[in-house]
A and B are shown apart, each in its own frame.
Chain A
Amino acid sequence: MASVSPLPEKIPGIQKAIAVFWPSFATAIVATGLFFSAFHPRDLIPFDLDLDVNPLAAYSIGFFLFWLLGILSSYGTMYFIVSNCQVLNKQQD
């Protein structure tokens, strides 16, 4: 039997979206928890910047920044896997 080709172009968009947004979401929750148990949001703002930041806002923004980083990483992983599969498929044809 011929080797199974992964057919990345057949992966539905919704499943690609899950692969990018979902693991990064779970990682962001863990990262936010770890980060903010070590650092108080108050200590992250430079002294000369006279900002009164609501903790909930700080945690939320922190969470979204972590999520964004995770999204970039997951997107990179997906991009490389999909494009590598395309290259492999071409070599097989």
Chain B
Amino acid sequence: MQPQNTNTVEPTLYAAHKKIYPREVSGYFTRLRMLSVVVLLGIYYLLPFLQWNGRQALLFDLPARKFYIFGLTLWPQDFIYLAALLIMAGLSLFFFTALLGRVWCGYACPQTVWTEAYLWMERKIEGNRGRRMKLDKAPTSAAKLRTKALKHTVWIAFSLWTGFTFVGYFTPINELGGRLFTGDLGPWETFWILFYSFATYGNAGFMREQVCKYMCPYARFQSAMFDADTLIVAYHPERGEPRGSRRRGTDLKQAGLGDCIDCNVCVQVCPTGIDIRDGLQYECIACSACIDACDEIMDKMSYPRGLIRYTTENAAVGKKQHILRPRVMVYATILLILFGTLLTNLLQRIPLELDVIRDRNTLYRETRDGLIENVYTLKILNMDSKAHRYILSADGIEGMRLLLDQPEIEVEAGSVHELIARLQADEYNMEERSVTVEFQLQAIEANHLKTTEEARFVGPGKN
């Protein structure tokens, strides 16, 4: 192998990073994207302050090991529900990707949303694309330092607010805010606020499109969900080529030119710095900035819009388009089944759990009346949002008696109650040395709140 060959090896993935200065753009899709950014950021920053039944509506209370999602309280035992929710989120991503392409990347991904917000701040402080490039090239001066310092101060303040909000999803945010002002933040709370702030500052301020290109797994495998009917952002080469500059009003046929005036605006607005005219590329996050930019130019040239547009591979070559196709149906079916199962399970979920632990020190004891007695520790977990009183019963052996300290057991909302239960049975009624017995727990005045738990009852055995 010749040594110069090694220099011509496809180097795109590991190309040295060049800073990208996305040019500002306006138009229909830009407004749509901005709307999405504002709504999503609004939800993120305001949601922790929303109250529900006197507590934070959405709170992943890690110290108390309870997740509050509006009216629902999830315990560590309910981890399966969260896992199901995550799987559904993943499948939805597949479904929308097959249908609409990388609409997630362009409009809803936190990386895009925060990058847009940071870019907006950057524009307000440093000016438009040309001024930003000039400022970065300019030699260090007091004015440059002032502008840069202002930008970073605003960025850091916004990052800190973001970090504070993030921790507010895990610790009640009103208390957290109070502790922030009195300077009583715990060391780990402080750490996570700073950690998340730093991540936001770095990802949205500096890494930007690098995250999409080098860190995002979805960007690498999204093409697996694509087919010829998936919505993509594409340049129309038959219409645009041969590209070239021209004067307004030039007869295109005479000049032998296509509609593309080669103004490079589509490249300048691209947040990932690619040229859409080179075809579909994995760097393209389908933000549609180039569509708006090109439409504006087409308007100025009095050419029809849509030289760069949303289309599908089939539509681009004039084939029939299919919205409902096997791939979409399969994703939709799996999604619906999962959603149905999750919903049924959540609706039928009984917020009550009973754990029975046999006394480990003594297998059994004989009472004065000649009965066999086993002792159990019972844990009653009331996962409901109300306190309840329960009645406990047990069966499994004929004539078995259950002895409790009190006939009714009261358990506060969202708490665990521990009690000792004793079972007494006649050895004569035991068919084996060890018999399965069943504890039944039933809430008073709430018929649906009942649960059972099995345990072993051990006797001396018949010889």
Contacts and interface: CB of A to CB of B under 8 A. Distances in A.
Interface of A: 2, 4-5, 7, 10-12, 14-15, 18, 22, 33-34, 36-38, 40, 54-57, 59-60, 92-93
Interface magnitude class on chain B: 20 to 34
A33 to B, nearest CB: 8
A60 B214 CA distance: 27
B79 A59 contact: no
Contact of B1 (A15, A60, A93): A93
Interface in B173-226: 186-189, 191-192, 214-215
B46 to A, nearest CB: 24
Interface of B: 1-2, 5-6, 9-11, 14, 16-17, 62-63, 65, 76, 79, 82, 171, 186-189, 191-192, 214-215
Nearest 3 CB-CB pairings of A with B: A37-B76, A55-B63, A37-B79
Chain A binding surface, main DSSP class: helix
B62 A10 contact: no
B134 to A, nearest CB: 27
Contact of A18 (B188, B191, B215): B215
A2 B322 CA distance: 42
Contacts of A59: 62
A61 to B, nearest CB: 9
Determine which residue in B63, B186, B189 has the highest number of CB atoms from chain A within 10 A of its CB, and name it: B63
Nearest to B10: A4
B192 A7 contact: no
Contacts of B65: 40, 55
B10, B11, B76 interface centre (most CB from chain A within 10 Å): B76
Given A15-B214, A18-B214, A34-B79, A7 B16 contact: no
A57 B11 CA distance: 44
Contacts of B6: 5, 7
A14 B215 CA distance: 11
Given A2-B1, A57-B188, 4 more contacts: A4-B10, A15-B214, A55-B63, A60-B192
Nearest to B216: A22
Contacts of A33: 79, 82
A65 to B, nearest CB: 15
Given A7-B6, A15-B14, A18-B214, A60 B191 contact: yes
Contacts of B17: 12, 14
A23 to B, nearest CB: 8
A52 to B, nearest CB: 13
Given A5-B6, A10-B14, A93-B1, A56 B79 contact: no
B182 to A, nearest CB: 18
A93 to B, nearest CB: 6
A57 B10 CA distance: 46
A38 B65 CA distance: 11
Nearest to B75: A37
A40 to B, nearest CB: 7
B10 A60 contact: no
A14 B207 CA distance: 11
A55 B9 CA distance: 51
B163 to A, nearest CB: 15
A5 B14 contact: no
8 contacts: A4-B9, A7-B14, A12-B16, A15-B214, A18-B214, A34-B79, A54-B186, A56-B171
B9 A5 contact: yes
A22 B111 CA distance: 15
B316 to A, nearest CB: 30
Nearest to A3: B1
Contacts of B82: 33
Given A37-B76, A38-B76, A92 B188 contact: no
B188 A11 contact: no
A3 B78 CA distance: 52
Contacts of A7: 6, 9, 11, 14
A54 B188 contact: yes
A36 B214 CA distance: 30
A2 B188 CA distance: 54
B11 A10 contact: yes
A5 to B, nearest CB: 6
Contacts of B1: 2, 5, 92-93
B62 A56 contact: yes
Contacts of A93: 1
Contacts of B14: 7, 10-12, 15
Given A37-B76, A93-B1, A56 B215 contact: no
Nearest to A12: B14
Nearest to B11: A10
B18 to A, nearest CB: 13
A66 to B, nearest CB: 15
A34 B80 CA distance: 10
A57 B192 CA distance: 11
B184 to A, nearest CB: 14
Nearest to A10: B14
A34 B83 CA distance: 10
